[in-house]
Structure 1
C-alpha cells in the first residue's frame, strides 16, 4: 500500500462512524463495546433483546454481530430528548438512517413493562443488559426484571462496571466517584433521579440476584474487560461527583449528620484521588465485568 492510500477502516471505526458522534470521540467506546460482545454467544441470525440501550453504543455492535438475517429489539425508558452530545431520539435516528438501521427496532419502554406486555411473544436467542443495571431504581426492580427475562431469553448476557481495576491504575478515582454517587442516590426519591448511577450492584451481587431469579451462570463466561484509552466514563462520573451541585443535593436530600459525614468523606476521597492522578485528564475508567447466564425452559 502506498503512503497516499487510506488504510481500511477497523470495525470499531465503522461502528463509530455510524453512531453520529464522529470517529475521533467514539472509536474507543465502540471498541470497548465490541470487546464486550466478543465474550458473548451472539451468532449470525440471532434474535436479540437489549434492555437499556441508551443512545445505541452497544446496539450498533450487536446489529453488526447478528448480520443481515438477525435483528435487535432495543428497549430504553429514557425520554427521547434525554442525553448528550446527542439525545436518545437523535442518536436513534442517526443509526436508523445508516446501513445497520434495518436490523434494529427502537422501543421506548420500561424494561419490565415491555416484558410484561408481551408474555407470549417468541423467546429471544439472547438478551443483553450492557451497563444498564445501575440505572435501575433498586435491586428489587433488577430482580423482578431478571425473573421476567428468565423465561423470555435462552441466554442473558450482562456487562457492568466491576468496581475494580488493576493495581496502581487511575481507575480508582472512577470507583470512588461511583460509590459517592450511590451513597447520595439511595437517599433521594427514585422519581427525582436522572443520574447515571442510581443503584450500584457489584458483580457478586448481580450473580446473587440472577441466581434468585432462576438464572444459571455459564461456567467460564465471567471475565474482566479493560477499556482502552479514550473511554471517558471515569472522567464523566468524577466530574459529576465533584461539581458544586452535588453538595447542594446532599444538603437537600440527606438530613442525618452522620449520613452526610459519610457522603462528604467519600467525596473528599474522590478529590484526593483526583489530585493524586494529576487532575481530570489523569482519571481512568475501571474494568468492565461480563458474564453469561442461561434462562429457564
Structure 2
C-alpha cells in the first residue's frame, strides 16, 4: 500500500535538516516537483545545488533502497540559515534516508569534469539552484557538461509568474529588484544572483544540446514562504545601503529604487508581510540528444 501524499510530506519534513519543526508545506512542494519528473525507484541521481537538502530528501525517498543520490553544492558548510549546510546535511545523514545520500562539497563543473569516464547518471536534478549561478554563461557551460553525463535532466526554478489576483506578484517584484542590484555586486551570498526565466532556461538548455520533453507550473502551498524571504531582503535598510555602495550610474540606481518602491507598494496592498505569497514554480524535463 502506498503512503498517502500528506503523510509522506510530514515524513520528509520530520527528517529535514531544519529539525522536527520544519514546514510540511515546503516538503509538499518538493514532492510536487518530483511528481512532475517521475523519478524512478532505483535511479542513480545527481543533484546540483542541494543546499540544506530540501529536495535531496524527497529524491532519496523516491529512489528507494536500491537507488542513490549524489548531492553537490559549492557553498562552504558554514553557509546558510537558520541551519548551515553542514548542520542540515549532518541531521539528514543521521536519519533513515541518510545512507541513500552522498554529500559532496565541490564546484559542480569541477566534480563533473573530474571523472569523465564514469557511468552516466539516470537523472541530473537542478531544483531552485540556477539563480545561485554567477551568470547565464556559467549555467550554459554547466548544462553542456551535464548533457554528456546524464540521460535526463530535471530543472525547477521560480516561474516569474503567478495566478491572476494572487499575492505572488510581490515576490516577483522583490526578485527583480534584487537581481538588478546583484548585477553590480562583485560577490554575493544572496538567494538571487542571476535571474533566468523559464524561457531563457529553455534557450540555454537547447544550446547545450538538451531536448525539452515536458514542462509544468507547480503552485506552492500557503506555507511556502520564499516570497516573504525575498521581500524582506528588499525592504530592509541594508538593501538601500548596498544600492548606494555598489551602483554608480544615476539612471540605473533610479531603476533599482523604482523596483524597491514597487515592492513596498505591493506589500502594502497585500496587507503586510503575512499577506505576501510565493510565485509559481516551473518544472521541466529534458533529455539528451544521444
Q: TM-score, normalised by structure 2?
A: 0.97
Deviations 1:117-173 (A, max 9, x none): 121111000000000000000000000000000010100000000000000100000
Shift of 1:116: 1.3
SS in 2 for 1:31: helix
Question: What is the distance in 2 between the residues matched to 1:121 and 1:91?
Answer: 29
SS in 2 for 1:45: coil
2:261 to 248, 264, 268: 268
Contact 2:14 2:22 in 1 (8 A): no
SS in 1 for 2:102: strand
Paired positions, count = 287
- Aligned partner of 2:125 in structure 1 is 128
Contact 2:17 2:90 in 1 (8 A): no
Shift of 1:42: 1.0
Question: What is the distance in 2 between the residues matched to 1:194 and 1:228?
Answer: 26
Q: TM-score, normalised by structure 1?
A: 0.95
- Aligned partner of 2:230 in structure 1 is 237
SS in 2 for 1:293: strand
Shift of 1:289: 0.2
The answer to whether residue 228 in structure 2 is matched with residue 213 in structure 1 is: no
Contact 2:14 2:21 in 1 (8 A): no
2:196 to 178, 190, 201: 201
**Cα-Cα RMSD:** 1.3
Q: Any residues of structure 2 matched to 1:29-48 within 5 Å, and which?
A: 29-48=26-45
Question: What is the distance in 1 between the residues matched to 2:10 and 2:226?
Answer: 19
Question: What is the distance in 1 between the residues matched to 2:36 and 2:29?
Answer: 11
Question: What is the distance in 2 between the residues matched to 1:272 and 1:256?
Answer: 24
**What residue ranges of structure 1 are gaps of 5+ in the alignment?**
1-6
- The 3 A distance-change label for structure 1 pair 55 and 20 is closer
- Aligned partner of 1:182 in structure 2 is 179
Shift of 1:41: 2.9
Runs of 4+, deviation exceeding 3 Å: 22-25
